[in-house]
Amino acid sequence: MSIDFALQQRRMLLKTSAVGFGHLALTAMLGQEAIAEQKQNISSNPLAPKQPHFPPRAKRIVFLFMKGGPSHVDTFDPKPMLNKHDGTPPPFDLPKVTFAKQGNLLKSPWKFKQRGQCGLPVSELFPHVSKHIDDLCILRSVHGTNPAHGGALLKIHTGSDQFVRPSMGSWITYGLGTENQNLPAFITICPTLAHGGVNNWGTAFLPAYCQGTPIGNASLSAAQAKVKHISNARIDPQLQRKQLDLIAAMNQDLLQETGTNQALEGRLNSFELAYRMQSTMPEVQDISQETSATHASYGIDDPVTEDFGRQCLMARRFLERGVRYVQVTHSDSEVQWDQHGNLYQGHTKNASEVDKPIAGFLEDLKNRGLLEDTLVLWGGEFGRTPTSQGTNGRDHNPHGFTMWMAGAGVKGGYAYGATDDFGYYAIENKMHVNDLHATILHILGIDHERLTYRYASRDFRLTDLAGRVAKDILA
Amino acid sequence: MIRSVSSFLAIAIAFSTANLLSAQEKKADRSTLAIDAGHLEFFEKEVRPLLIKHCYECHGNGEVDGGLAVDYRDGLLQGGDSGVAIIPGKPDESLFIEAIRYKNEDMQMPPDGKISSAEIKVLEKWVAMGSPDPREKSTEGNHKAAMGMSIVEGKQFWSFLPISNPDVPMVKNKDWVKSPIDAFILAKLEEKNLKPAPRAAKTTLIRRVTLDLIGLPPTPQEIDAFVADQTPDAFEKVVERLLDSPQYGVRWGRHWLDVVRYADSNGLDENLAYGNAWRFRDYVINSYNNDKPFDRFLIEQLAGDLLPDSNRETITATGFLVLGAKVLAEPDREKLMMDTIDEQLEAVGKAFLGMSFGCVRCHDHKFDPVKQSDYYALGAIFKGTKTFADSNTGSIKHWHEHSFATPEELKSLKKIDAEIAKKKSAAASFKNKAVVKLRNEARTKATEYLMAASKFDTSTSLRRVDAIAEPLGLHARILHHCRLHLDYHRDDSFFKTWHELNAKQDQQGIEQHYRPLFEEAETAFQTARKKDPKVKKLDDARLEPARAALYDLYGFLEVPAKPEFAFDQKTLSEYYRLMEEARILESNAPDATSVMSVADGTVQRELPVHIRGSHRNLGKPVAREFPEVMRTSTVRPVFRSDQSGRLELARWMASTSHPLTSRVYVNRIWRWHFGAGIVKTTDNFGKIGSQPTHPELLDWLARRFMETGWSTKQMHRLILSSSVYQMQSQTGHGQTSQVDPHKVDPENDLLWEFRIQRLEAEQLRDAVLAVSDRLDISLGGKTVPLRNRQFVFNHTSVDHTKYDSLRRAVYLPVIRNNLYTLFEQFDFPDPTTPTGSRNTTTVAPQALLMLNSPLIMESAEKLAKNLLKQPGDDVEKIRLAYRKTLGRHPSKQESKRALGFIQGISGLAMLNAAKVDPIQKQRAWALLCQALISSNEFIYVR
């Protein structure tokens, strides 16, 4: 069979089938020269890259998710009034519903210092990240609706804390497709299975190809994290190749009998893609190919930072290969950042685990020119109360908290919005989670009101009926 | 800066336009004339700019969020969904003012932050002066028109029309008509000059019907018997055999479990085990096996607890209402109740009526003739129903259950609970003791820690700290923490000396200063304690800081909280062992006999409309009622005053005059047989749903269904005996008719051939186990390996759920938030929403599963072993392999190819060995079997 003929055959199959990691595209089989043609062929492959609504600032996004809720008043949102009124009852009304009983005001155990050219304050918890402050856009007025972990995780990932809805990554995949057809469009590394679990990377009613692909989960170390069934220890690859040829021959026979059939042809192709993925995925995950300097800059040479460092480095390798949405989760066998007590010890430990890896990750993205068109998002499902819980803890606070962005299209060294004097409520330029989502989509070139999917008699959106783009943060 | 300039411009423009308008429209504008000039000036100068700046983006220029427009006078006076916005002269009673004051946390405007207090004062003053306002509604204002169908229009919509009694149509090809169904299908085909596909081969038919009715492939013996049976009713006999098999309920019960979003755990926020859901699952399977009339089946699931003959079975049935995913840790109880009711209404609507009620919570339906008042009329019925128990575990609420436990049972459970508690506390106390030991050790080496801490700085990696700690017999993590602690507590006067000496790198000095201090303090403390064990502090002001530092649990010698960080390997594995012991004991412990169920609560005769779905914004109350468009009687229903109303609702839904119930259900049966419904959107019979391809057939089937006493099995008999069901699939290029059906009807909506269907997740898994003789077909019982309300995985993300059971797939746990991989990849429906029609997607991870998963590989190995045990040569064995997996004999060519494959792989080994290695031979056969199981022919039903 001549190469041309083989190409043609495969193209035909491609046109009539809809399969893939999501759905199949044979870009790699066709070779790079065929990519342009691929791009025009959107209808045949739902995961092919799609035109956004307007020129995007970012082509891809990575979410560094801090599970449990880091305290904003101890990290990026200093409150001198807390020091002043430490130990006194809060001089403002508490919300009608709080997660636990609220105590008196509690000052931050950490000092804040002005950093970088911009002079924005960051606490001692993030000595490495703070070196990048001139690239960070600190969102100080994020607020959600749900004061419990489960609801808040679902809210931040899906926009809804009431119903099962498609996750942000699924919406983005649905809207933009992906750049590398040999890898999943949407990857979540070591996600937590608790508090919403798979719903946080699920598609709900969106097509299955929008589903996030988990690599490991929070109970596994990053070194152990793998895609399910990606390898076969029992069968030598040579034998498996022979077996695949046999399956292909059987399937061809059936096609002879039935004539053209999209489903049957698609399934035939899916085996070929699976076979190739078996080598692609482990290769991307294999960080041993990186230099020891890179390992050191991510903190992979230190047990404290190794795990999160590995996750971040893997994320970079996925991002540079065209994966559209990557999430990295900082979660351990407890609810990582959930310091209802022992604020000082807990937050110290947590920050020390992520600080260096995040700084190394930002540096690396920058050096490789990836930061220009990658949006980095950092944050938890909510912040923590300026009031105390017990003697040395803080409760959940969805009413005002901090997340930050870096990279593509956002202003660096910039603080947006504000909480009140004590850090309980967002008051200025309030940014609801729906607004955050609208803004993220905007940065990716998507109008959040036009990215819709009709299901059960109505058009759904990531932002439901709300969402305002925070244009002030755009560079 | 730019922003403020442009808004200034906008104000200026709006101002001048307004002047223009008011000038032009002076004749018509009574109010403008009536407005005092000073007031008008105040409005134009002070008020209008504020409204434009803060409100128009969402409530002006055609935008009417929340139904409220503030860009003309009457917009504010009429108000929005929450009611009148302004009461002129009464700022304190005006919602508009309440919202901008930001005091009510549920109504705060503008949403991105409170406006300045000066601005608030302006608006308060304006309302107080009677809100003088010259603005008229702009004529070209594109305010969104009312959407949706009216009730009158709705009554004419096909699915709300009474079920007709259509005549069986006349057709030309009478020979083909074996059942009236055939006539309905054929009539449409003949209209388009299409011919139905020929009858399928007997081997195809028996595979199709067996997988369809019991979800398993036929055995070679069953195939042979059917092929040999030449009697005219041979196929009917097969159907009867299958309908009599208890495996029928396993397959068809699972269809219904899709519709009722069955799961063994809550999912959503807190994933607690539904340890008693299996009783509902078994109820469904039994109901199918017993052919329970569907009207009764419906009534039991909605109101089994209220039936006059209510019993354990009917109460179990109401689990339907409790199975939904709930936000169990939602702190706002009222919100939780309304969210739960919403979930229930959505499930009831979709499952039985093909209607989506969920979107009517906030406003009238945008497409269907269902009004918000209908929603809250139904809501009242469910508000009077208890779905939650009064108990809870911490912040996690308990769903309602009905206990059937005997006193003896409860007594024995107390014992088991005590044992579990004992195991748990054994683990906890082991951990505590180990931590105390570490603390004590660290305390005795306090000086060594301070000295070692001086050998590195805070940025030193833990690996290097470990190299310092190890030779000194110190704990690396404690030492690392100690260094960080010292740095963060520079202000602590006790460590002032350390910092001074550290600056000089004087470790000896550190020792000379701190060792005597620690020793003295320790001795003094022990002495004091001997006198009084309760003593907490030393009176000596010099020694007390040393004591405090040594004994501060979170001080410089803090032991890491994570066991992995604190303990050595041996201690850690012992701790894990104890934890695991407790977990296993708990997981396997029995629960009190109890069923998930609802009960009546406080009867709600009416429920207020919740404006925009908010439970904190209540409107006009509505009384219990059935949705208006579906009512078949003009007489208002009578609801018992002492019951929730579920029984009346259920009976109304199950009545023969209801336009939807029977249509929706027979359409489901049709979908499950043919792979597509007469109405393709099985769960949506509304305007956005698809139209029926054969509306007369649908009504005929619905009528026939009710005439035969709502019997599901009778419907099977009727459908399966038709020529339609027995057609070939994939006849494509073999069509004899002159018209190409692919062009006329590419989607095969008219059913000119049978649809090829991929096996569903459970069929695939059970078929793999069945052909390798591994399947265990026993029925019923608890199978989820968790105790009721036990966390599936709380914060740990460790999923202990195993799927290695060899029982039928319906008995595998359905864990929300973490479905069994095979289920997830092969389109098992989302178990949080009712699903009548599963998707079929083809993705590469499915192929990975077929190639690499233990389930498939082990089954292939078992099948290979079984084949090798059989007498006969390799060709004979290959024939058996094909018969077992594909239900047919291989062709000569196929047989030759398979043989070549076996010999090729065994031969690889022969190069290195004198004879064929039996292990290599078995491996070759296993690879062949795996290929057969992975082939399209195995996974598709033709």
| Residue-range domain boundaries for chain B | 2-128, 174-250+660-740, 263-403+598-653, 423-571, 852-941
From the list A163, A334, A345, which residue is nearest B558 (CB)?
Answer: A345
> Given an 8 Å threshold on Cβ–Cβ distance, is A301 in contact with B461?
yes
pLDDT at position B491: 82
Whether residue B21 has pLDDT greater than 50: no
CB contacts, 8 Å: B112 with chain A: 429-431, 435, 468
- Mean pLDDT to the nearest integer, B765-791: 94
In angstroms, the separation between the Cα of residue A249 and the nearest Cα of chain B is: 9
In angstroms, the separation between the Cα of residue B935 and the nearest Cα of chain A is: 6
Which one of B100, B690, B841 would you mutate to disrupt binding with A, by most A Cβ within 10 Å of its Cβ?
B841
- Mean pLDDT to the nearest integer, B838-863: 90
Main-chain dihedrals φ then ψ at residue A4, nearest 5 degrees = -60, -45
In single-letter form, the type of residue at position A27 comes to: T
Q: In this structure, is residue A281 part of a structural domain? A: yes
Question: Taking Cα atoms as reference points, which of B359, B271, B277, B362 lies closest to residue B318?
Answer: B277
Find where tokens 């000073």 sit: B38
Mean pLDDT taken over chain A: 86
Question: Taking Cα atoms as reference points, which of B78, B43, B755, B65 lies closest to residue B363?
Answer: B65
DSSP string, B616-675: TSEEEEEES---GGG---SSPPPPPTTS-SHHHHHHHHTSTT-SSHHHHHHHHHHHHHHS
- Mean pLDDT to the nearest integer, A116-124: 95
Beta bridge partners of A150: none
A404's CB contacts (< 8 A; 6+ apart) are A76, A136, A137, A138, A139, A377, A378, A379
CA angle A294–A297–A300, rounded 5-degree value: 80
From the list B558, B689, B851, which residue is nearest A232 (CB)?
Answer: B851
pLDDT at position A2: 38
Helices B661-674 and B695-707: angle between axes, nearest 10 degrees: 110
SS3 content of chain A, % helix, strand, coil (to 5): 40, 15, 45
Across the A/B interface, how many CB contacts are shorter than 8 Å? 300
CB contacts, 8 Å: A19 with chain B: 842-844
* Nearest chain A residue (CA) to B835: A205
> Given an 8 Å threshold on Cβ–Cβ distance, is A250 in contact with B931?
yes
In angstroms, the separation between the Cα of residue A280 and the nearest Cα of chain B is: 13
Residue A340, classed as helix, strand or coil, is coil
Higher pLDDT, A58 or B149: A58
> Given an 8 Å threshold on Cβ–Cβ distance, is A258 in contact with B395?
no
- Asked if A341 reaches chain B (Cβ–Cβ under 8 Å), the answer is no
Whether residue A249 has pLDDT greater than 90: yes
Q: In this structure, is residue A455 part of a structural domain? A: no
pLDDT band at residue B22 under the 50/70/90 scheme:
very low
- Mean pLDDT to the nearest integer, B860-876: 94
Question: Taking Cα atoms as reference points, which of A441, A456, A474 lies closest to residue A54?
Answer: A441
Q: Are strands A60-66 and A374-379 parallel, antiparallel or unpaired?
A: parallel
From the list A20, A229, A334, which residue is nearest B848 (CB)?
Answer: A229
8 Å CB contact between B263 and B832: yes
In angstroms, the CA B203 to CA B226 distance is 8
Residue A83, classified by CB atoms within 10 Å of its CB into exposed (0-12), middle (13-18) or buried (19+), is: exposed
CB contacts, 8 Å: A235 with chain B: 927
Beta-strand runs (E) in A331-379: 374-379
DSSP type of residue B352: I
8 Å CB contact between B816 and B271: yes
Q: Are strands A374-379 and A401-407 parallel, antiparallel or unpaired?
A: antiparallel
Count CB atoms within 10 A of the CB of residue B390.
8
- Mean pLDDT to the nearest integer, B191-199: 93
Whether residue A217 has pLDDT greater than 90: no
In single-letter form, the type of residue at position B364 comes to: D
In angstroms, the CA B99 to CA B342 distance is 27
Find where tokens 């748990």 sit: B424
DSSP string, B717-769: HHHHTSTTTTB-B--GGG--SSS-HHHH-TT-TT-SSBPPEEPPHHHHHHHHH
8 Å CB contact between A79 and A421: yes
DSSP type of residue A473: G
* Nearest chain B residue (CA) to A471: B3
> Given an 8 Å threshold on Cβ–Cβ distance, is A304 in contact with B325?
no
List, as ranges, residues 38-97 from A with C-beta within 8 Å of B. 95-97
Q: How many domains does chain A have?
A: 1
Query: What does the block give as tokens for A154?
Result: 């679902």
Mean pLDDT taken over chain B: 89
Residue B38, classed as helix, strand or coil, is helix
Question: Taking Cα atoms as reference points, which of B768, B750, B589, B777 lies closest to residue B676?
Answer: B750
In angstroms, the CA B383 to CA B695 distance is 37
Peptide bond into B110 cis (omega under 30): yes
Q: How many helices (H) and strands (E) does chain B have?
A: 42, 10
pLDDT at position B732: 59
- Mean pLDDT to the nearest integer, B719-746: 80
In angstroms, the CA A253 to CA A269 distance is 15
Whether residue B656 has pLDDT greater than 90: yes
pLDDT at position B2: 37
Beta bridge partners of A80: none
Question: Taking Cα atoms as reference points, which of B849, B856, B852, B775 lies closest to residue B810?
Answer: B775
- Using the Cα atoms of residue B292, residue B295, residue B301 and residue B306 in order, give the sign of their dihedral: negative
Main-chain dihedrals φ then ψ at residue A120, nearest 5 degrees = -70, 140
Query: What does the block give as tokens for B894?
Result: 């196929």
Whether residue A5 has pLDDT greater than 80: no
Which one of A142, A164, A427 would you mutate to disrupt binding with B, by most B Cβ within 10 Å of its Cβ?
A164
Q: What is the CATH number of the domain that holds A425?
A: 3.40.720
8 Å CB contact between A69 and A384: yes
Domain membership of residue A50 as a residue range? 3-435
DSSP type of residue B269: S
Low-confidence winner among A417-421, B356-360, B768-772, B859-863 (lowest mean pLDDT): B356-360
Count CB atoms within 10 A of the CB of residue B457.
10
In angstroms, the CA A76 to CA A140 distance is 8
Query: What does the block give as tokens for B259?
Result: 């519709």
From the list A198, A243, A457, which residue is nearest B688 (CB)?
Answer: A457
Q: In this structure, is residue A452 part of a structural domain? A: no
Find where tokens 């994933």 sit: B271
pLDDT band at residue B832 under the 50/70/90 scheme:
confident
> Given an 8 Å threshold on Cβ–Cβ distance, is A197 in contact with B339?
no
- Asked if A319 reaches chain B (Cβ–Cβ under 8 Å), the answer is no
| ipTM rounded to 2 decimals | 0.77
Question: Taking Cα atoms as reference points, which of B326, B317, B247, B203 lies closest to residue B789?
Answer: B326
Highest average pLDDT, of A338-347, B205-214, B523-532, B633-642, comes from: B205-214
- Using the Cα atoms of residue B116, residue B121, residue B127 and residue B130 in order, give the sign of their dihedral: negative
8 Å CB contact between A415 and A429: no
pLDDT band at residue A236 under the 50/70/90 scheme:
confident
Higher pLDDT, A142 or B50: A142
DSSP type of residue B18: H
Low-confidence winner among B558-567, B712-721, B781-790, B807-816 (lowest mean pLDDT): B558-567
In angstroms, the CA B607 to CA B616 distance is 13
Helices B507-531 and B544-551: angle between axes, nearest 10 degrees: 90
Q: In this structure, is residue A465 part of a structural domain? A: no
DSSP type of residue B689: S
- Asked if A20 reaches chain B (Cβ–Cβ under 8 Å), the answer is yes
Whether residue A19 has pLDDT greater than 70: no
Which one of A44, A183, A206, A258 would you mutate to disrupt binding with B, by most B Cβ within 10 Å of its Cβ?
A258
From the list A196, A302, A428, which residue is nearest B461 (CB)?
Answer: A302
Torsion of CA B63, B65, B69, B70, to 10 degrees: -100
pLDDT band at residue A179 under the 50/70/90 scheme:
confident
DSSP string, A272-324: HHHHHHHHHHHHHH-GGGS-HHHHHHTTTTSHHHHHHHHHHHHHHHHHHTT-S
Question: Taking Cα atoms as reference points, which of B562, B430, B472, B553 lies closest to residue A303?
Answer: B562
Q: What is the pTM of this model?
A: 0.76
List, as ranges, residues 89-118 from A with C-beta within 8 Å of B. 95-99, 109-110
In single-letter form, the type of residue at position B814 comes to: V
From the list A208, A251, A334, which residue is nearest B795 (CB)?
Answer: A334
Query: What does the block give as tokens for B163?
Result: 């079920």
